[in-house]
Structure 1
Amino acid sequence: MADLSSFPITKKWPAKNPDIIQLYSLPTPNGVKVSIALEELGLAYEPHRIEFGPDGVKSPEFISLNPNGRIPAIIDPNGPGGKPIGLFESGAILVYLAEKTGKLIPADPALRYETLSWVMFQMSGVGPMLGQFGHFYKFAADKVANNSYPTERYRDESKRLLSVLEDRLKDRPWIMGDEYTIADITTYPWVRGADIFYGGREALDYASFPSVVDWVERASARPAAQKGFDIPAKA
């Protein structure tokens, strides 16, 4: 049995089975990336629901695994060299899981780097911009009622990024063509979330991005996605 005692987070959220991947997350656009990938890869894992606030992501135990205090994070008891490893940042976790299994990322070096470019596109653009749009559009609308600039800025940049995806997806089912990869998994939960969580479909003019909409629907219909969307479940 793996010894995870060197990870303080396991004191607050004990592992029932320390021999499998421990997932610390919430079913948010960032969080579900990892649960979906784990389901796609068929890897055994144990989910722990980490709430927002001082008893969750801001607790000393969680901070010990992710100094940035954000979900998701994982501990893999079978990391490099057979030693446990703790990881945070959804993009880094997806790359790690893909390379660990040799799946969800092309074997060809050139295509691998192209896939990573699209992963970084999401991490640096799609996630932050759609997240900021959603914040001002849904949660801070009262604070910017007399100043439309923040909402319009992030709306327009989000639409620009959606247009980049639209161009990419016009003639292919997935970002990398016929192969479903971590580039898809890291990106479509955010496009989906901007619609169903932030209610931004009309404001972001999804009708102008039919290839993106079809792609999100196609990805969301996958069995791994259907399961991963609700992990970790509420107690």
Structure 2
Amino acid sequence: MGIRIYGIFASRAVRPLWAAQELGLAFEHVPTPYANKATRTSDFMSLNPNGHIPVLIDEREDASRPIVVWESMACALYLARHHGPPDGKSITPASAEEDAQALRWSFWSVTELEADALTVLMHRFVMPEERRKPELADAALARLQAPLGVLDQALGRNARGGEPVYLAGDRFTVADVCVASVVNWLRPSQGLEGFEHANAWLHTCLKRPAYKALKNLEARQ
């Protein structure tokens, strides 16, 4: 019985890994890179026929068989909903309003930010230099100005007297896990320049002990 998370820190798997760490869950991390066809083996494809990480396996006493969750945002939201106390202290939404905020911001980050943020990261830093296309990164960053403005304005409205601000309620929740994991891809390129509230919020998120623990995990991989 227990939870297993397949993936690596430097991937979308950071979302359920971060959520599990924030919740203080005991889980088994199965390092599974996306390179070298590691996700195309028959064993892995039996877990996720799409051949992508992360995959979350939850072996529960109240389920007749292990629950398998694909898609990084779904994995993080699942952990918060089914393994966290809705006590107004954990990352689990404590009300219908907080749950709505977590859902809408998480899906928003996928539809409005993720593809362009990944393009910027890949074509400015990750890909071999001879394969990079700076014009693609520049165009993606230009498209991101509008949704980053939406995020910055929302965080600005939540600001209160210099205290840390978050996306759902007055504390750090799974909404922040999901969105920060995407926005963080823009940090190496200084893509948050000019977005004061979003930049401060991201730094607050990345200072959390749970995230720092994951960075240590990355160093051991």
- TM-score bracket for the superposition, by shorter chain length: 0.7 to 0.9
What is the CA–CA distance in structure 2 between the aligned matches of 1:134 and 1:140, rounded to whole Å? 12
Q: Does 1:108 align with 2:95?
A: yes
Report the 3-state secondary structure (helix = DSSP H, G, I; strand = E; otherwise coil) of the residue aligned with 2:193. Answer: helix
Preserved CA contact (<8 Å) 2:32 2:53: yes
What is the CA–CA distance in structure 1 between the aligned matches of 2:142 and 2:61, rounded to whole Å? 41
Q: TM-score, normalised by structure 2?
A: 0.84
Q: Relative to 1, partners in 2 of residues 1:41 and 1:85: Cα closer, same or farther, differing over 3 Å? A: same
Q: Unmatched 5+ residue regions in structure 2? A: 160-164
Cα-to-partner distance string for 1:87-130 (whole Å, 9 max, x where unaligned): 11111111211111244232322331232011101122222220
Aligned twin of 1:216:
202
What is the CA–CA distance in structure 1 between the aligned matches of 2:61 and 2:208, rounded to whole Å? 28
2:30 to 42, 48, 56: 48
Aligned twin of 1:27:
9
**Which AA in structure 2 matches 1:176?**
A
What is the CA–CA distance in structure 2 between the aligned matches of 1:98 and 1:182, rounded to whole Å? 7
Preserved CA contact (<8 Å) 2:15 2:75: no
**Which AA in structure 2 matches 1:216?**
L
Q: Relative to 1, partners in 2 of residues 1:123 and 1:180: Cα closer, same or farther, differing over 3 Å? A: same
State the number of aligned residues: 209
Q: Relative to 1, partners in 2 of residues 1:125 and 1:80: Cα closer, same or farther, differing over 3 Å? A: farther
How far apart are 1:143 and its partner, in Å? 4.6
How far apart are 1:144 and its partner, in Å? 6.2
Q: Relative to 1, partners in 2 of residues 1:212 and 1:29: Cα closer, same or farther, differing over 3 Å? A: farther
Preserved CA contact (<8 Å) 1:21 1:77: yes
Q: Which has the higher helix share?
A: 2
Matches within 5 A, 1:133-212: 133-138=120-125, 139=127, 142-143=130-131, 148=135, 150-170=136-156, 171-172=158-159, 173-195=165-187, 199-201=188-190, 204=191, 206-212=192-198
**Which AA in structure 1 matches 2:55?**
A
How far apart are 1:135 and its partner, in Å? 2.2
Q: Relative to 1, partners in 2 of residues 1:61 and 1:184: Cα closer, same or farther, differing over 3 Å? A: same
What is the CA–CA distance in structure 1 between the aligned matches of 2:129 and 2:143, rounded to whole Å? 18
How far apart are 1:75 and its partner, in Å? 0.7
Preserved CA contact (<8 Å) 1:76 1:84: yes
Q: Relative to 1, partners in 2 of residues 1:79 and 1:113: Cα closer, same or farther, differing over 3 Å? A: farther
Q: Relative to 1, partners in 2 of residues 1:136 and 1:95: Cα closer, same or farther, differing over 3 Å? A: same
Percent pairwise identity? 23
Report the 3-state secondary structure (helix = DSSP H, G, I; strand = E; otherwise coil) of the residue aligned with 2:38. Answer: coil
2:105 to 118, 130, 140: 118
Q: Relative to 1, partners in 2 of residues 1:227 and 1:73: Cα closer, same or farther, differing over 3 Å? A: same
Aligned twin of 2:162:
none
Q: Relative to 1, partners in 2 of residues 1:40 and 1:47: Cα closer, same or farther, differing over 3 Å? A: same
Preserved CA contact (<8 Å) 1:49 1:233: no
Q: Relative to 1, partners in 2 of residues 1:64 and 1:105: Cα closer, same or farther, differing over 3 Å? A: same
**Which AA in structure 2 matches 1:127?**
E
RMSD between superposed Cα atoms in Å = 2.3
Q: TM-score, normalised by structure 1?
A: 0.79
